[in-house]
Amino acid sequence: MRAEARDAADRESLLVSFIHSTILNQRSLEAALAFHMANKLAGPSMIGTQLQALFLEYLRASPQSRRSVRRDIAAVRERDPACTSYHDALLYFKGFQALQTHRVAHWLYNSGRQALAKYLQSQVNQNFQIDIHPAAKIGEGVFIDHGTGIVIGETAVVGDDCSILHQVTLGGSGTGTGDRHPKVGSGVLIGAGACLLGDIVIGDGAQIGACSLVVEDVPEGCVAVGVPAKVLGRSKVKDPAKHMQQDFYAQVWGGMDI
C-alpha cells in the first residue's frame, strides 16, 4: 500500500499532502485507518483526535480486529474492478469505511458503551448514507459495494466473505423484540436493491437477485429472485460473492416465469 500511495502522490501533486498525512506518515495500516476515519467523521460533537484514539483503542484490543481490516480491504480490491489499488479502497470507498466504523461501534456496544456506539452509527448514516445498527453481527472479508442506502437491523447477522450491493435492506418485521432480522450465511451475494425481511435464514453461498423481496428461508447454495422471491434452484456459480455476477439469473434462467 505504501508503494501504491507513493506512486499516486508522485503522479498528482494536489494529493501529496493528503496521501502523506494519511498513509505515508503513518506507521501501520491501523494507524492510517484511524487517522483517515477520524478526519472523515469529526465534527462539532467530537474532534478528530478523540475519534482517532477511539479507533486505535479498538484496533489494539484484539488480533481479530486487525485481521478484519485486512480481510475487508482485500475483499474490496479483489471483487471490485473499479478498485485498482489497496490505498484506493482505504481512502475512497465508503462501503469499506462504513464497515470499519461499524466494527468499532459493535465493539463499543458489546462493551456496554451503547450511547457512543449509536453516535458512531448516526455519523456513518449522515456521512455515508449507510445505516447499520451497532448490535448487528458482521463477519470478516465482507464487501459492501457502493453502499448507499444499505440498512442492516439490530439482530441481523452477516457471515464471512459476503458481498452486499447498494440499497440492500436486512430489515425486521413487526414491532416485537428479539430475533427479527435476517441471518445471512457465509459467501452470500446480495444484489442491488434486494430487501430481506424478518428472522429468515439465507444459507451459505446463496445468491439473492437484484431488487428481490425475500421473506422466506433460502437454502444453502441456491438462487432466489423475484417479488416475492422464489428459489430457482442450485447456483451455477461457485463462490458467488467473489464472482459478483449479478445478472446470473437472466443468463441461466432467463426463460423462466419469476
> Computed from CA positions of residues 120, 123, 124, 130, in that sequence, does the dihedral angle turn out positive or negative?
positive
Taking alpha carbons only, the member of 73, 146, 147, 152 closest to residue 106 is 152
pLDDT at residue 251 is higher than 70: no
pLDDT in tens, 56-81: 999 999 999 999 999 999 999 999 99
CA distance 185 to 25: 39
The architecture in CATH of the region 1-129 reads Orthogonal Bundle (1.10)
* DSSP structural state of residue 210: T
Backbone phi and psi for residue 157, each to the nearest 5 degrees, phi listed first: -130, 135
Residue 139, C-alpha cell as written in the block: 463477519
Residue 164: count other Cβ atoms within 10 Å of its Cβ.
28
pLDDT in tens, 10-62: 999 999 999 999 999 999 999 999 999 999 999 999 999 999 999 999 999 99
pLDDT in tens, 186-199: 999 999 999 999 99
More confident residue, 234 or 206: 206
pLDDT at residue 216 is higher than 60: yes
The domain spans of the chain are 1-129, 136-257
More confident residue, 176 or 63: 63
Query: Is the model's pTM score more than 0.85?
Result: yes
Query: Which amino acid, residue 132?
Result: I
CA distance 62 to 13: 37
Query: Which amino acid, residue 54?
Result: L
Reported confidence tier of residue 177, pLDDT bands at 50, 70, 90: confident
List the CATH code of the domain at 136-257: 2.160.10.10
Reported confidence tier of residue 176, pLDDT bands at 50, 70, 90: confident
